[in-house]
Structures are given as structure tokens and as C-alpha cells.
Chain A
Amino acid sequence: MTAEKQAVTITADTHPFLNGLWKQNPVFVMVLGMCPTLAITNSVRNAISMGLATTFVMVVSYGMISAIRKLIPKQVRIASFIAIIACGVTVVDFLVKAISIPVYQALGAYIPLIVSNCLTLERAEAYAGKQPVIKSMLDGLGMGLGFALALTCLGMVREVLGAGTFLGYPVLGSHFEPWVLFLLPPGGFISLAMWLLFFAWRKERAAKLAAAEATQ
């Protein structure tokens, strides 16, 4: 019953931007794009840059995909989507390199890998390939910023606990003993699990409250 209701709200009522940012958050709800989520959230700076790069790719390429969606033959649509997304990724690759070499080196192979990110292709197939241009770009923006938000949440936990800093500034004092584990790969899994637990707990509590209200 609830699943049905939820599906309706997501597809019809929710604004495409808010849908991506919160309702269907790519990391916390859909659990897509796990590769960059786990790999490069070891600092807030890396997380934000990765999120913004992905957002740019999604907005630009979804606009293009949506504009020519009626020209693309159904049989080769995935290949066409990938070619268009790859154009956006190439632009971002050069952009990041021009803006900051340290960030470019930190993100490394994960910028080219945006093209094979589950999230980018999933939204192209599920949304941009079927919807008008403005809505598709809004969806890309919402999903991208939702992705950036989630990465920043993870990056925050990992950087604060793993190094005692936030965006490079020490926040926990010089006597803080850093938990090196959180900068290493297991830290990514642990902090993702903690966030998912937090959201699951919130959802369960909300459902309980709603049930209690309904019985009264």
C-alpha cells in the first residue's frame, strides 16, 4: 500500500529537482554510483569537487539527450547516451585540470569514470530519454546536487574523524587523536553504513508515528 503511494508521489507529484535532491537521493535512497562514493570521499574537498563535476555532466548531457531523444533509434539509445555523456565528461576533465591540479590529481581516474557511473546512465535511461528538456535538466541538477550532498555528508564524517579537519581547517584541536581507519577504504564503507542506518532509523520512526496517529 505504502509502496504504491510512494511510487505515485515520486513520479507525478514531486518536482524533478526536489526528487533528486532528497526524495530519491542517488546515494542514500537509490544506492547508485557507489564507486566514487566509497573511493574519493576521504576529504570534504574531494567529495564536493566530485559532486559538482558529476552535476555538471548530468545537467549538460541530459539537456542534449532530451533535445534529441526523438531522433535516437531505440536500439542504439544506450550507446548514444554514453557518447553524449562522454562529451560532458571530457569537458569536465579539462575544466577540473584548468581550475586545480591538486584536485585533479586527487580525483584521478574517477573523473573519466563518471561516464560509467550507474547513476548517470540510469537517469538518462529512466528520465532524460523520455522527458522534455527543461525537466530533464532539472532532474540532472537535482540528482547531481543530491549526489554532491551525499558525498559531502560522507566526506565530512571521514575527514573530521580521520584527520580532525574540515576542508583542511583543524576543527577538533591539536590534541585530537585521528582515526586513521576513516581515511582508508574501510572508513568509506563504515561511514556509508552509518548514514544509511541514520536514514533508515528516521524512516522507521516516521512510519511508527504515522501508524500511531492513524490508530488514534
Chain B
Amino acid sequence: MTPATVLAVRTSPHAHAPRSVEKIMANVVFALLPICVYAVWLFGISALALLIVTTAAALATEQMFCRAGDKRSSIGDFSAVITGLLLGLTLPPALPLWMGGLGAFIAIGPGKMVFGGLGFNVFNPALVGRAFLQAAFPVAITTYTPAKALDRFTEFIPSTLAWPFMKAAPITEWMVKVKVDGFTGATPLMLQKFDHVTTDPWSMFLGERAGSAGETAPLLILLGGLYLIIRGMMSWRVPLAMLLSSVVLAQAFHMSDPARYPGALFVLFSGGLMLGAMFMATDPVGSPVTSRGMWIYGILMGTLTVAIRFLGGLAEGVMYAILLGNALSPLIENVTQPKTYGERRKAVAK
């Protein structure tokens, strides 16, 4: 008996060009690479080790789950590489490496593979991993180090080399050694929120500031995003809607009380807004496919980001905004179904 024709079941996007999931994913990796290189230049070998650990752990977890589920290995589709890189880029470079590895395991395991792998996950896996780390190790994940520290290419930040499951070494001595005067270990967002010190948006645009490894280079993130949009591999609606809505809302807040709320440029270039809007909110799995839906989804996330930053207790809100957006996207998709040709609106019962 001959087996029935095997149809390849692929996850969206179902593109008709000679283009596959692997190709698009590989292009996303290309777009991320400059950001990674810049992160390593700013934060040295600690950031490099973190990126390597998260990516390797993501790949190993994917392989392990494929094996356990008797499925064909899916590490060749680059999606685990993207998750690992994105997770590494959203973490502070001083984070102990074992926490980065654990985050990658959570991201790929419970965040993606238990739902059935690529295309079935509800949330962006990298952000699931980061949310787990944020809830599990609230101190370690808010310990930031300055960019361009001395000896960053020859010496690790002491906290990164903690033994697995053990506490990290304090970095106070190291801070003195690298001669960073007056650095309080806070990102511009934290400074603004808790100490009311606003950092100059131009220096933030160049990325020479404390922060997560990959969120400090808005220019490179923009270029990477534009590359993907121009090649038609990413929707332009989601990042535009998210950035635009957060800028407009932030400016409105700023005009109502300039002393308390920072301006639109500050909001745009600080924290992970740019990275989140370009590379995480646009994840085709977690976002709606209708174009009206994409606008609603983007605006929702932009609004939530500004609301959490300005009105909530946290300094940064991009992560939770995107996770909430992911959770709502099936609903958004449902209510924005386009009218099929020839369909008439249902008669209203009188």
C-alpha cells in the first residue's frame, strides 16, 4: 500500500514567493547581528558570553524537546537562534550566565515547545524567558553596568561568572576599579522615574548608556528593522503603530506636566521600546494577520508601554505591553476579519 500524498504543513506566513520560514528567520538573524556586535563593543566579553550562552541554551532546549517528542529536529529553522539572541539582547550584561541559560530554557521549553513548537506559541518566547527571570531574580535583572567600561574586552564583570544556582558576586568593587564616577547602576529610565534626572536623548540615540545589552542602539535597531521591512519580511504597520502611539501619548503627558513626564524623544530612545517594537512585537506568530488588526495591536502596545512607564510602579513596560498584546491578538484578529467579497452585512433585527 502506498502512503497518501504527504502535504507539508507549514506555519504562517504562507508566502508565495520562493521564500521559506528558514530564509526569513535567517534574515532576521542578519538584521540582529549588527546590534549584537555593537552590544559586545559597548559591554565587552560579558555581553558576548551572555549572547553565546542564551543562544546555545535555546538551541539545546529546542533539540531536547524535539527528541523527547519524537519529532524531527527543528533547530535548523533559525527560530531558536532568534529567540536566544533576542533574550540575550534584552538582559543586562552583568546578569549571571547561568540565569541567561535558564531564561533561554524557559523561553523555548514552556514558552514555545510545550505549545507545539514554532507557530503555535501564544507569547513571544524570548519575552516569556525574560518575564520569568524578572519575576524569579528581581535584583539580578535590575543590576545594570555602565557602557564602555575600562578593560571590558579582557575582564568579565564579576557577577556574570557565578556558579550555577549560586548568588552572584557583588559588583561594587569592580565599579570602583573601572573608575565610573557617580554611576548609580541605573538606566536612563530608572533615573528619570525614581531620581527625576533626564538623560539627553542624543546620547541615548548613540547608545552609550547603561541598559540591557541590545536595547541601547536605536539607530542599528532601526536599520535592522528597515532592512526587514524593505525586503518585505516584516510588517511595517506594527512597529509604526506602536512607536507612533507611544510618542503621541508621551508628548501629551509631557505637555500636561513637563516637570514630571519626559518628552517624546526620551520615551522613544530609552529602554527597550525600539527593540521591542521592531523585533518582538512583529513576531508573526504572536501578532494578528489582518492589517486593521495590526494597527490596533500596535497602538494597544504603545499605549500600554507609556501607561506602565508613566503611571505604573515599574520603570520599563515594553515587555509586559508586548506580552499583553500577544494575549489579545487572537481576539483582535477575530473582530477585524475583513468582509469577504459579496458578503452583505447581517440585517439588524428590528
Binding site for B on A (CB under 8 A): 172, 175-177, 179-182, 184, 186, 190
Question: Once bound together, how far apart are the Cα atoms of A177 and B133, in whole Å?
Answer: 12
List residues of chain A with CB within 8 A of the CB of B132.
Answer: 181
Sample (26) of A-B pairs whose CB atoms are under 8 Å apart:
A172-B165, A175-B163, A175-B166, A175-B167, A176-B165, A176-B166, A176-B167, A177-B96, A177-B140, A177-B162, A177-B165, A177-B166, A177-B167, A177-B168, A179-B136, A179-B137, A180-B135, A180-B136, A180-B137, A180-B138, A181-B132, A181-B135, A181-B136, A184-B135, A186-B135, A190-B110
List residues of chain B with CB within 8 A of the CB of A175.
Answer: 163, 166-167
Please give me the residue from chain A that is nearest to B162 by CB atom: A177
Question: Once bound together, how far apart are the Cα atoms of A179 and B163, in whole Å?
Answer: 15
Interface string of B149-183 (1 = CB under 8 A from A): 00000000000001101111000000000000000
Question: Once bound together, how far apart are the Cα atoms of A177 and B167, in whole Å?
Answer: 5
Question: Once bound together, how far apart are the Cα atoms of A129 and B165, in whole Å?
Answer: 51
Question: Once bound together, how far apart are the Cα atoms of A190 and B140, in whole Å?
Answer: 21
Question: Once bound together, how far apart are the Cα atoms of A6 and B284, in whole Å?
Answer: 44
B324 to nearest A CB, angstroms?
Answer: 15
Number of A-B contacts (CB under 8 A): 28
The tally of residues in B whose CB lies under 8 Å from a CB in A reads: 14
Contact between chains at B137 and A177 (CB < 8 Å): yes
List residues of chain B with CB within 8 A of the CB of A190.
Answer: 110
Binding site for A on B (CB under 8 A): 96, 110, 132, 135-138, 140, 162-163, 165-168
List residues of chain B with CB within 8 A of the CB of A186.
Answer: 135
**Interface residues of chain A: helix, strand, loop or mixed (majority):** mixed
A40 to nearest B CB, angstroms?
Answer: 19
Question: Once bound together, how far apart are the Cα atoms of A179 and B168, in whole Å?
Answer: 13
In the complex, besides A177-B96, A179-B136, A180-B135, 14 extra interface pairs with C-beta distance below 8 angstroms are A175-B163, A175-B167, A177-B162, A177-B166, A177-B167, A179-B137, A180-B136, A180-B138, A181-B132, A181-B135, A181-B136, A184-B135, A186-B135, A190-B110
List residues of chain A with CB within 8 A of the CB of B96.
Answer: 177
B79 to nearest A CB, angstroms?
Answer: 23
B164 to nearest A CB, angstroms?
Answer: 10
Question: Once bound together, how far apart are the Cα atoms of A121 and B227, in whole Å?
Answer: 62
B294 to nearest A CB, angstroms?
Answer: 30
Question: Once bound together, how far apart are the Cα atoms of A60 and B275, in whole Å?
Answer: 60
Please give me the residue from chain B that is nearest to A201 by CB atom: B68
Please give me the residue from chain B that is nearest to A164 by CB atom: B165
List residues of chain A with CB within 8 A of the CB of B166.
Answer: 175-177
Please give me the residue from chain B that is nearest to A182 by CB atom: B136
Please give me the residue from chain A that is nearest to B98 by CB atom: A177
List residues of chain A with CB within 8 A of the CB of B140.
Answer: 177
Question: Once bound together, how far apart are the Cα atoms of A161 and B136, in whole Å?
Answer: 10
Please give me the residue from chain A that is nearest to B164 by CB atom: A177
List residues of chain A with CB within 8 A of the CB of B162.
Answer: 177
A90 to nearest B CB, angstroms?
Answer: 38
B67 to nearest A CB, angstroms?
Answer: 14
Chain B CB within 10 Å, residue with most, of A172, A177, A182, A186 = A177
List residues of chain B with CB within 8 A of the CB of A180.
Answer: 135-138
Please give me the residue from chain B that is nearest to A174 by CB atom: B167
Question: Once bound together, how far apart are the Cα atoms of A160 and B138, in whole Å?
Answer: 18
Question: Once bound together, how far apart are the Cα atoms of A186 and B132, in whole Å?
Answer: 10
Question: Once bound together, how far apart are the Cα atoms of A27 and B168, in whole Å?
Answer: 37
List residues of chain B with CB within 8 A of the CB of A181.
Answer: 132, 135-136
Question: Once bound together, how far apart are the Cα atoms of A32 and B163, in whole Å?
Answer: 40
Question: Once bound together, how far apart are the Cα atoms of A175 and B167, in whole Å?
Answer: 5
Question: Once bound together, how far apart are the Cα atoms of A105 and B110, in whole Å?
Answer: 34
Question: Once bound together, how far apart are the Cα atoms of A47 and B136, in whole Å?
Answer: 21
Question: Once bound together, how far apart are the Cα atoms of A179 and B140, in whole Å?
Answer: 11
Question: Once bound together, how far apart are the Cα atoms of A175 and B166, in whole Å?
Answer: 5
Chain A CB within 10 Å, residue with most, of B137, B140, B165, B168 = B165
Please give me the residue from chain A that is nearest to B132 by CB atom: A181
Question: Once bound together, how far apart are the Cα atoms of A73 and B96, in whole Å?
Answer: 65
List residues of chain A with CB within 8 A of the CB of B163.
Answer: 175
List residues of chain B with CB within 8 A of the CB of A177.
Answer: 96, 137, 140, 162, 165-168
Please give me the residue from chain A that is nearest to B133 by CB atom: A181
List residues of chain B with CB within 8 A of the CB of A172.
Answer: 165
Question: Once bound together, how far apart are the Cα atoms of A177 and B166, in whole Å?
Answer: 5
Question: Once bound together, how far apart are the Cα atoms of A184 and B137, in whole Å?
Answer: 12
A95 to nearest B CB, angstroms?
Answer: 36
Question: Once bound together, how far apart are the Cα atoms of A92 and B102, in whole Å?
Answer: 42
| Across the A-B interface, the 10 shortest Cβ-Cβ residue pairs | A181-B136, A181-B135, A179-B136, A175-B166, A177-B167, A175-B167, A180-B136, A180-B138, A177-B166, A176-B165
List residues of chain A with CB within 8 A of the CB of B135.
Answer: 180-181, 184, 186
Please give me the residue from chain B that is nearest to A186 by CB atom: B135
A160 to nearest B CB, angstroms?
Answer: 11
B189 to nearest A CB, angstroms?
Answer: 22
